[in-house]
Structure 1
Amino acid sequence: MGFVHRRRRGAELFLLVLALAVGIGAYAAVGLGVQGEVPPDIVGYGGWLAALVITAHIVVRITAPYADPVLLPVVAALNGLGLAVIHRLDLAYEAADRTHGFAQRQLVWMTIGVVLFLATLIFLRDHRVLQRFTYTTGLAAILLLLLPMVPGLGATINGARIWIRFAGFSFQPGEIAKVLLVIAFAGYLVLHRDALALAGRRVLFIDFPRGRDLGPILAMWLISLGILVFQGDLGSSLLFFGLFLVMLYVATERPGWLVVGGLLFVAGATAAYFLVDNVTNRFNFWLHPMDYYDRSPGSFQIVEGMFGMAWGGLIGRGFGAGSPERVPFAESDFIISSIGEELGLTAVIAVVLMYGILVERALRTALVCRDGFGKLVATGLATVLALQVFVVVGGVTRLIPLTGLTTPFLSYGGSSLVANWVIIALLLRISDQARRPAPVLTEDDPAEADVETTQVVKVQR
């Protein structure tokens, strides 16, 4: 007896309507709160946003009909809310005769991201093809990470040399590298996980890996330290090492790797604190923010962000009633503090819950995926999103030292936005493959005459 599989595209469309209401409604609320009227370009803006989202839905419906129905609506809501908050900051910057126009550029980057999202779904019909390019993607990722070190091409911004400038445009190649590293790590671990899973010495009920198998994690540790020392990028260093460690643990199911990775992380962080000035400053700002408020470099950004969130309280001051523009880089690194000030702790909790939904659906995709490579890719992409949100929100709220990463889909930044849209496309492709009905084998097929009819497992979620 067979079961009918539900594609859930209707549910996705309904959720997308709600997501558009969040994005367009927030844009209208910004105009009412700041200028006292609905923005005159609300029809054009809303129409373009709706066109992008509905086009993405149609392509998903055609090319990945069994894909997860929740991922795209959550991303559309986050992206729409981020555009509205950036537009609100633009109005404040314009009133103060400061650089503005970030929202328009962010909408352009969103368009590019959606186009690449569509291209990924249309041309990548089977994620397993990517396993053929394990070492190619790994080499490409390393080259992208090295690009900012090229004289005349790389640029140092806020103490981190992670940008490249070319023909008047700036780009952060590490955002693309994180996607390529997930593919490279997954392909490598699928091939070598049996050897890496072998146990060595047993200490306190934990089986540690063999000494001869420590090469990959030591290499990743050294690469992460190199990024930290030569580029001054604490966030990317933490992201890449944490990503490899989580994927290694998932592939081998050996807790010993977490212990070894944790010890390496503590050793690297301790050395960086004493040897790298940027890391020393970040830790000092974290531990004693008020002592460095008036210094340069100082903790002005952290302290102002905390004051703003405290002023916003539970429900916020409302769009236009706060002063989020006081925080440097409020449109990028500290967009969470802008939301906390004008929309309150309630909105921040809602945003964090939406990220939690993204990570949960990505991990659900990994659980139901039928092949090892897809499981590891989905797990890696979920880890990228989870780690990025944790270090950003944790840094803004002073839970951990500030690292400087962008908040996925919310913050201003073309590199991050484009890469994250590609991440969602890959997750949808894997989930479509995982949720598709298994083929039913019957005795009528001469090639499978001896095989009993296979029952198809019902996939409702």
Structure 2
Amino acid sequence: MMGRTPNGQPGFLGFVHRRRRGAELFLLILALAVGIGGYAAVGIGVDGAVPTNIVGYGGWLVILIVACHVAVRIAAPYADPVLLPVVAALNGLGLAVIRRLDLAQIDKAAGTGKPPHVFANDQLVWMTIGVALFIGTLVVLRDHRVLQRYTYTSGLAAIVLLLLPMFPVIGREVNGSRIWVHLGPMSIQPGEVAKVLLVVAVAGYLVVHRDALALAGRRFLFIDLPRGRDLGPILTMWLIGMGILVFQRDLGTSLLCFGLFLTMLYVATERPGWLVVGGLLFVGGATVAYFVESHVHSRVVTWLDPFGAWETGSQQVGNSLFGMSWGGLLGRGLGGGQPWRTSYAESDFIMSAIGEELGLTGVMAVLLMYGLIVERGLRAALVCRDGFGKLVATGLAVVFALQVFVVVGGVTDLIPLTGLTTPFLSYGGSSLVANWVIIALVLRISDQARRPIPDLSFDEPAEVETTQIVKAVRP
């Protein structure tokens, strides 16, 4: 923006970001069309008619998204205008796909007399809770830098949450992994909340200690390795990740926590040596886990031979690959495939259902939306004016990048299956609520970074008058 500098001379004053809330509203209309249109398409594809509850469902979805838009317009007017519409589109599409899988379960249970377990209504309730926390985060947290005060508190809380499933009364083991906590009729996955607290704790720690961690040690093959005395933090995170892997048999959370810390450490110090050390620790730990932990061993065996694993009863990856190949480029259409043949299609393998009924085109569109979330998070980190905000925004973007990579990689047999949920798409209350809070934090940092810098310049007469007053009161 051109204007006059404090000395009265014309010049360039800097960039002034527009609020762009009108653009966000337009994109939100398109996102609602994706969610409500997908829900209607499911009814037409399965039953041959638009669902009878389309008005109530669509109306509630509109209320939730409009409430988010109003909250951003009031509490974070300069926030990124693309993040919320992308999230709304993903959440709406996930609800439509889960509803499609529910209808298949209802048809299968029609002749058995047993009530089917449906998930779409529960997911809509969890979305409502997530939206409420999204709005609450934006309203209560007016400045993200306040979180830096709770660096060690957040770290301690993250460790406690990761250990909760190990408690004998409330902890539960599901599908070989002990990652759930049951509180009465509810079951939550505390690791989803722990990842948010972990980002805050790591960012606060690195802001204070990154200068020491950036010091170079020995040089090996053109890479400056870190000093031995600075290996404490990465060894601690490695031990935490290995503990999660061995005692909870949770490959996904272990990989996410260690990969998140390693990436943030590299971004803070700009030292490739940390990537080398972290990579060696990861390879060593994974090798030991393969030979020691039977759960990890079975995942690797299924990865190497997904169709041969049918003999041992593990058919998920094989069915997923068959379904996506049947979907082809454009898919069978919502209601035209058989995605229920893959177990846990509503949670771990929802990308397989999308690939079967929306084809490679639908999968690429979803991956593009995730890419936009990561890109917008990193853009907020680039324009943020404080180091803590830069690292928090980077860490939250890396959470999405790592989680989507390991989930889609596992479903497509690129890497061993980890068991993580696909953000905003998969069924899961803990994951959905935590991800809505993550988006609120990114929007808060983006709003702070995009706000115009206050004009603190003084007019020349006022400046002279202030100088005279100071001289008069000086003894």
For the structure 1 residues 69 and 446, does the alpha-carbon distance in structure 2 shift closer, same or farther, using more than 3 Å as the test?
Answer: farther
Deviates more, 1:93-102 or 1:182-191: 93-102
Contact 1:442–1:449, Cα closer than 8 Å, also in 2: no
- When Rg is computed on C-alpha atoms for both structures, the one with the higher figure is 2
Measured in 2, the distance between the counterparts of 1:406 and 1:448 equals 59
Partner secondary structure for residue 427 of structure 2: coil
Measured in 1, the distance between the counterparts of 2:180 and 2:266 equals 31
Does residue 99 of structure 1 match 2:111? no
Partner of 2:92: 80
Does residue 349 of structure 1 match 2:361? no
Measured in 2, the distance between the counterparts of 1:99 and 1:218 equals 47
Partner of 1:123: 140
Q: State the AA in 2 paired with 1:391.
A: V
Does residue 424 of structure 1 match 2:439? yes
Contact 2:203–2:264, Cα closer than 8 Å, also in 1: yes
Partner of 2:73: 61
Partner secondary structure for residue 86 of structure 1: helix
Does residue 434 of structure 1 match 2:446? no
Q: State the AA in 2 paired with 1:61.
A: R
Displacement of 1:319 after TM fit?
1.4
* 1:154-181 alpha-carbon deviations (Å, 9 max, x no partner): 1111110000111111100000000000
Partner secondary structure for residue 403 of structure 1: coil
* 1:285-307 alpha-carbon deviations (Å, 9 max, x no partner): 000122221314x2x01101111
1:442-461 matched pairs, under 5 angstroms: 442-444=457-459
Does residue 254 of structure 1 match 2:266? no
* 1:169-218 alpha-carbon deviations (Å, 9 max, x no partner): 11000000000000000000001001000010111111110000000000
TM-score relative to the length of structure 2: 0.93
Measured in 2, the distance between the counterparts of 1:439 and 1:319 equals 51
Deviates more, 1:403-412 or 1:286-295: 286-295
For the structure 1 residues 203 and 450, does the alpha-carbon distance in structure 2 shift closer, same or farther, using more than 3 Å as the test?
Answer: farther
Measured in 2, the distance between the counterparts of 1:201 and 1:343 equals 52
Contact 2:105–2:118, Cα closer than 8 Å, also in 1: no
Does residue 205 of structure 1 match 2:205? no
Measured in 2, the distance between the counterparts of 1:44 and 1:439 equals 45
Displacement of 1:439 after TM fit?
1.2
In structure 2, runs of 5+ residues without a counterpart are 4-12, 110-114, 467-475
Measured in 2, the distance between the counterparts of 1:177 and 1:446 equals 55
Q: State the AA in 2 paired with 1:268.
A: G
Does residue 237 of structure 1 match 2:254? yes
Measured in 1, the distance between the counterparts of 2:173 and 2:357 equals 31
Does residue 134 of structure 1 match 2:146? no
1:205-354 matched pairs, under 5 angstroms: 205-296=222-313, 298=314, 300-354=315-369
* Residue in structure 2 matching 1:17, options 29, 48, 66: 29
Partner of 1:175: 192
Q: State the AA in 1 paired with 2:87.
A: V
Displacement of 1:45 after TM fit?
0.4
Contact 1:442–1:448, Cα closer than 8 Å, also in 2: no
In structure 1, runs of 5+ residues without a counterpart are 452-461
Partner of 2:374: 359
Measured in 1, the distance between the counterparts of 2:462 and 2:139 equals 32
Deviates more, 1:318-327 or 1:221-230: 318-327
Measured in 2, the distance between the counterparts of 1:280 and 1:34 equals 39
- What is the root-mean-square deviation in Å for CA atoms of aligned residues? 1.5
Displacement of 1:441 after TM fit?
2.2
Contact 1:312–1:344, Cα closer than 8 Å, also in 2: yes
Does residue 40 of structure 1 match 2:52? yes
Partner of 2:125: 108
Does residue 403 of structure 1 match 2:415? no
Deviates more, 1:28-37 or 1:441-450: 441-450
Partner of 2:471: none
Partner of 2:201: 184
Partner of 1:458: none
Partner of 1:459: none
| Percentage of matched positions with identical amino acids | 73
* Residue in structure 1 matching 2:62, options 40, 50, 55: 50
Measured in 2, the distance between the counterparts of 1:321 and 1:37 equals 14
Contact 1:141–1:177, Cα closer than 8 Å, also in 2: yes
Displacement of 1:447 after TM fit?
9.3
Measured in 2, the distance between the counterparts of 1:322 and 1:235 equals 29
Partner of 1:455: none
For the structure 1 residues 450 and 239, does the alpha-carbon distance in structure 2 shift closer, same or farther, using more than 3 Å as the test?
Answer: farther
Partner secondary structure for residue 200 of structure 1: strand
Contact 1:443–1:450, Cα closer than 8 Å, also in 2: no
Partner secondary structure for residue 425 of structure 2: coil
Does residue 380 of structure 1 match 2:395? yes
Does residue 392 of structure 1 match 2:407? yes
Q: State the AA in 2 paired with 1:145.
A: L
Partner secondary structure for residue 99 of structure 1: coil
Measured in 2, the distance between the counterparts of 1:235 and 1:67 equals 31
Displacement of 1:325 after TM fit?
0.5
Partner of 2:10: none
Partner of 1:7: 19
Measured in 2, the distance between the counterparts of 1:35 and 1:154 equals 41
Q: State the AA in 2 paired with 1:87.
A: R
Question: What is the count of residue pairs matched by the alignment?
Answer: 449
Contact 1:87–1:103, Cα closer than 8 Å, also in 2: yes
Measured in 2, the distance between the counterparts of 1:27 and 1:344 equals 17
Does residue 153 of structure 1 match 2:165? no
* 1:283-340 alpha-carbon deviations (Å, 9 max, x no partner): 00000122221314x2x01101111001100000111111101100000000000000
